Amino acid sequence: MPANVQLIDRLRQIPYFSHLDEPTLRLLAGKMVSAEYEPSQDLCREGERADRMFILESGEVAVFRPGKADVLVEIAVLQPGDVAGATSLFSQGRRSATLRARTPVRAWVLDHPTFQELFDQHPSVARALLASLSQQLAQGGAMVAHLLSQDFDPRYRVVVYDAKSYTEAFFRERNRHDYLLQFIGARLSLETVALAAGSKVVCAFVNDTLDEAVLKELRGAGVELVAMRCAGYNNVDLAACARLGLTVVRVPAYSPHAVAEHTVALMLTLNRRVHRAHNRVREGNFSLDGLVGFDFYGKTAGIVGTGKIGRCVTEILAGFGCRLLAYDRYPDPALAERLGLRYVTLDEIFAESDVITLHTPLVPETKHLINADAIAKMKSGVMIINTSRGALIDTQALLAGLKRGQIGHAGLDVYEEESDYFFEDYSDRVMTDDLLARLTTFNNVVVTSHQAFLTREALTNIADTTLENIREYQVGRRGSQLTNLVRVG
């Protein structure tokens, strides 16, 4: 296939080839062959002899590295224009990673013997390569000097697990202390813990595994600080952290408004059947049958947990003109006074509310707060909203309540077993979780994938607070000197 202009441009951006002149670049491009790969096909495998360079032309390629017990862990995704394996043109070592096509992929490939032949036949190639390499050596020397002058040590390296594109974008943008951020697409687990080696800080999220076994491995790898980039920490074994001497920090509040507004979005969507109306109109069906809702004005809302998020929800519902009942272990008299809210028992919330919304953390006392007994006490047709933690609701009991019509609507941003599915694209696979599958079949249930926090403001605050938490630890603050310490003892 003839060399194209984009390919020549791409080659020019590879540091080794930056000094090649136009005719030599064209010569090099002319030696490359186009190859196609099916989804799931390997372009190359970790451990095999490295004998080709790839330039991705179209599609996506996942990069896998061996984690714990040699299980392959996805660490990055290559996009069109990305280059892999350039050093294999010069020296044939072993591949350090497996490259696997995620989609149909087209790539330009140059193999080692072809490149060597070119190298031998054209002294201009050798001269240009030497010029590039000597420049890089000089730059490398300057960089090492810079790092040494900064007293570079592993405290500056932060391994960010379960990182999505939005995590990376906001953390990079807000990284004003210039940490060496390493984004790992995979969740923290026994299989991926080895990737934290050499770092004193790991940054984890709601569905990462931080049980005793993982925490032991983290400690063994030299980690000292677990920086949770979320408010909840029910997935962290705090007793094990205390035993191992690990410090845990979190982001106690990043935008209660984001979560509260999503909570109300679920209420209004369900009540006014926006999800069904939207689908109908797209199908050209403009009928209104089955879309009858109710006025929120004058209805009774039961808010369970009136902390930062519950308070924001209460304020919005007060604006709607709802009658407000609340339950909290620590009532807030000022809030009650200001909004005309009445603190009552949980049983009264269940018996009187038209809408029940959950805003307590998940702790042993709140697990399955909504169970078969609680549902039996509720008004027929009640709306239940959960944007807090999945296990506040016994899903089996919820399904039974929905089937017999006792529960009229359910809006769920969280689900007991969400860690298997939420945040990931499973659209080309079969859903094996029967409870989740059943939930998604009801026309009066809306499930969102733990997205209540997902606003620009919240993501900015999460990145800022997490990086500041790390900074505090790095400058030597310990224990209660850390603003957002999670007490482990």
486 binds ligand NAD (CB under 6 A): no
331 binds ligand NAD (CB under 6 A): no
309 binds ligand NAD (CB under 6 A): yes
For the bound state, the minimum distance from the C-beta of residue 330 to ligand NAD, rounded and expressed in Å, comes to 4
Among 59, 67, 185, 307, indicate the residue that binds ligand NAD (CB under 6 A): 307
359 binds ligand NAD (CB under 6 A): yes
Half-sphere exposure of 44 (CA within 13 A, CB side): 22
330 binds ligand NAD (CB under 6 A): yes
334 binds ligand NAD (CB under 6 A): no
Q: What are phi and psi of 54, to 5 degrees?
A: -115, 140
Cβ(386)–Cβ(407) under 8 Å?
no
**In this chain, which stretch among 34-42, 87-95, 108-116, 448-456 interacts with ligand NAD, using CB under 6 A?**
448-456
- Which residue's Cβ lies closest to ligand NAD? 307
310 binds ligand NAD (CB under 6 A): yes
**In this chain, which stretch among 93-101, 132-140, 357-365, 477-485 interacts with ligand NAD, using CB under 6 A?**
357-365
305 binds ligand NAD (CB under 6 A): yes
- Per the annotation, the verdict on 471 as an active-site residue is no
- Per the annotation, the verdict on 389 as an active-site residue is yes
Q: Which two tokens stand for residue 402?
A: 């929905």
Q: What are phi and psi of 393, to 5 degrees?
A: -115, 135
259 binds ligand NAD (CB under 6 A): yes
For ligand NAD (CB under 6 A), the number of binding residues is: 29
Using alpha carbons, select from 268, 382, 254 the residue that is nearest to residue 319.
268
Q: How far, rounded to the nearest angstrom, does the alpha carbon of residue 353 sit from its chain's CA centroid?
A: 34
End-to-end CA gap in the chain: 66
Nearer to ligand NAD, 227 or 309 (CB): 309
Among 42, 51, 82, 328, indicate the residue that binds ligand NAD (CB under 6 A): 328
Helices (H), 287-344: 308-320, 333-339
- Per the annotation, the verdict on 472 as an active-site residue is no
Could you give the 3-state DSSP secondary structure of residue 237? Answer: coil
Using alpha carbons, select from 183, 231, 237 the residue that is nearest to residue 210.
237
Q: Which two tokens stand for residue 34?
A: 């186009």
**DSSP E strands: which ranges in 388-444?**
407-412
Cβ(75)–Cβ(26) under 8 Å?
no
Among 256, 302, 401, 411, indicate the residue that binds ligand NAD (CB under 6 A): 256
Residues present in the chain in total: 489
**Positions marked catalytic:** 389, 418, 450
Query: Contact positions toward ligand NAD, by CB under 6 A?
Result: 231-232, 253, 256, 259, 305-310, 328-330, 359-363, 365-366, 387-389, 413-414, 450, 452-453
